Amino acid sequence: MGIVLLFLIPVVVFSIVSVVLVGVLGAALPALAAYPDFTWVMDPWFQALIKMTLLILVVVMPLASILTWMERKQSAKMQDRGGPNRAAILGARAWGIPHFIADAVKMIMKEDFIPAKANKILFSLAPVMAIVPVFVTFAIVPFGGDVCTHQLTQVVANPALCTDKVTLQVARLDVGLLFYFAIASLAVYGTTLAGWASYNKWSLLGGLRASSQMMSYEVTMGLAILGAFLVYGTLEPHAIVLAQGPLPWHWGIVYQPLGAILFFTAAIAETKRTPFDTPEGESEVVGYFVEYSGMRFGMFFLAEFIEVVFLSAIMATVFFGGYEFPFLFPDGFHLLGHSLPLPHVAVLLIQTAGWGLKVIFFCWFQLLIRWTLPRIRPDQLMDLGWKKLLPVSLANVVVTAVVVLALMAR
């Protein structure tokens, strides 16, 4: 029963989410644009705005806040405990899911305290600096295939050819993942400023650790994913997804297994969670947000979980086929010579729901890692980053480059 629900609930939830996303962006807005007064709903700026809003309100924020509950519940299950199960809405406990609402209420009601000697402006700015970049990076994640708005009920063989398409991606940037690296490195300012501005030795130490760690691991992260760029020949996430296609043995994890592991490791270090949580090691320096309370602390907390969601999305996009569902081609399922033609809208719904399932799987996997491995020392952290991951990722790039070159020359 529990196992069935464990798989059933995400499927149901993400089916609803995909209906909302595809329905609003692919059907409702184009239908609205048919009226002369509302043609502006198809303008690029409005599209970008509505996509970002929808993505954040429907996927990112619910997922990030439910992760606060999931983390505690999953760790409890892994450690043979019961986990949170007290908070209830009208007596419905629902395995303690209302705890995330209780958390939010608690965060908002708490006293918002600023230390007397803290730099007030930077102190208030730091949580915003930490949370905004992680939201912005979601702009490049494709959460579904292109929608041919006039052919929703027909079988569409090649969505790239239709003229009236809506992209299920906020911004299709050619620099793609470079944009992610650029924005994500801004998040360092948030943590470092928080550590410095709170006028506390421990938070300063935490901030220093955070900045050194994030800078070192960014190098490995970039190099690890470089192999994938060489294989796909593009940096644009949607093109990467298309290059992988619906066949699982063409996904990035098959071509770049080492790159995937390296990237995942380095990216977990970027999110500053166990086993790389030296910036906030509770038993040693408590972290760059020691002095924060109330919703300001909540923003750091939330930023961490949004980073988890984002990392899951990037892992799914670059190494696990993105929104591509196994064996689901644009015109329906094809498996072992059998084929099942599906209308365009059904394909889109399955793809977006599948994307959500991949994301939540990687969230689950990151929580599993976070509650399994112990924290490593800062010097071990630097050793791992510079002496192990970096050479291996360099080697990975070189070998990949040689193989790709050899294949291209053939």
Partner 1 sequence: METTFRKRTSKATVKVVPRPETLNKELMLGGIIQGLAVTMRHFFQNVAREKPEVTINYPEERLKYPLRNRGLHRLMHREDDSVRCVACMCCPTACPAHCITIVAEETGNGNEKRPAIFEIDELRCIVCGLCVEACPCDAIRMDTGEHMHVVDRRDDAILGKVDLMKRGISSTAVQGGEPNWQERVKTVPDPRFR
Shortest Cβ 217–partner 1 spacing (Å): 16
Does 82 help bind partner 1 (rule: CB under 8 A)? yes
Does 369 help bind partner 1 (rule: CB under 8 A)? yes
Q: Considering beta carbons, is residue 77 or 110 the nearer one to partner 1?
A: 77
Q: Considering beta carbons, is residue 59 or 315 the nearer one to partner 1?
A: 315
How far is it, in rounded angstroms, from Cα 353 to Cα 11? Answer: 7
Does 81 help bind partner 1 (rule: CB under 8 A)? yes
Does 233 help bind partner 1 (rule: CB under 8 A)? no
Q: Which stretch binds partner 1 (CB under 8 A): 23-31, 232-240, 276-284, 368-376?
A: 368-376
Q: Considering beta carbons, is residue 106 or 388 the nearer one to partner 1?
A: 388
Cα–Cα separations (whole angstroms), residue 116 to 209, 296, 350, 406: 24, 16, 54, 63
Does 372 help bind partner 1 (rule: CB under 8 A)? yes
Which residues 4-23 are close enough to bind partner 1 by CB under 8 A? 6
How far is it, in rounded angstroms, from Cα 27 to Cα 12? Answer: 21
- For residue 278, the tally of other CB atoms under 10 A from its CB is 26
How far is it, in rounded angstroms, from Cα 274 to Cα 385? Answer: 15
Among 202, 333, 371, 386, binds partner 1 (CB under 8 A): 371
Q: Which stretch binds partner 1 (CB under 8 A): 143-151, 324-332, 341-349, 366-374?
A: 366-374
Among 45, 80, 249, 408, binds partner 1 (CB under 8 A): 80
Does 3 help bind partner 1 (rule: CB under 8 A)? yes
Bond from prior residue into 36 cis (ω within 30 degrees of 0): no
Among 373, 398, 399, 405, binds partner 1 (CB under 8 A): 373
Q: Considering beta carbons, is residue 48 or 261 the nearer one to partner 1?
A: 261
Among 13, 27, 77, 286, binds partner 1 (CB under 8 A): 77
Does 2 help bind partner 1 (rule: CB under 8 A)? yes
Shortest Cβ 169–partner 1 spacing (Å): 32
Of 143, 144, 147, the residue nearest 165 (C-alpha)? 147
Q: Which stretch binds partner 1 (CB under 8 A): 23-31, 77-85, 284-292, 317-325?
A: 77-85
How far is it, in rounded angstroms, from Cα 116 to Cα 139? Answer: 38
Q: Which stretch binds partner 1 (CB under 8 A): 74-82, 99-107, 190-198, 213-221?
A: 74-82
By the 8 A CB rule, do 74 and 365 touch?
Answer: no
Question: Binding string to partner 1 for residues 83 to 102, with x set by CB under 8 A, is what?
Answer: --x-----------------
Which residues 259-298 are close enough to bind partner 1 by CB under 8 A? 261
Q: Rounded to the nearest 5 degrees, what angle is found at the Cα of 399, between the Cα atoms of 393 and 401?
A: 100
What lies within 8 Å, CB to CB, of 59 at 6+ separation is 17, 21, 143, 309, 356, 359
Decide: helix, strand or coil at residue 330: coil
In this structure, which amino acid lies at residue 383?
D
Q: DSSP letters of 238-289? A: HHHHHHH-S-GGGSHHHH-HHHHHHHHHHHHHHTT-TTS-GGG-TTTT--TT
What lies within 8 Å, CB to CB, of 290 at 6+ separation is 198, 200, 202, 203, 206
How far is it, in rounded angstroms, from Cα 366 to Cα 382? Answer: 21
Does 79 help bind partner 1 (rule: CB under 8 A)? yes
What residues make contact with partner 1 under the rule CB under 8 A?
Answer: 1-3, 6, 74, 76-82, 85, 261, 368-369, 371-373, 388
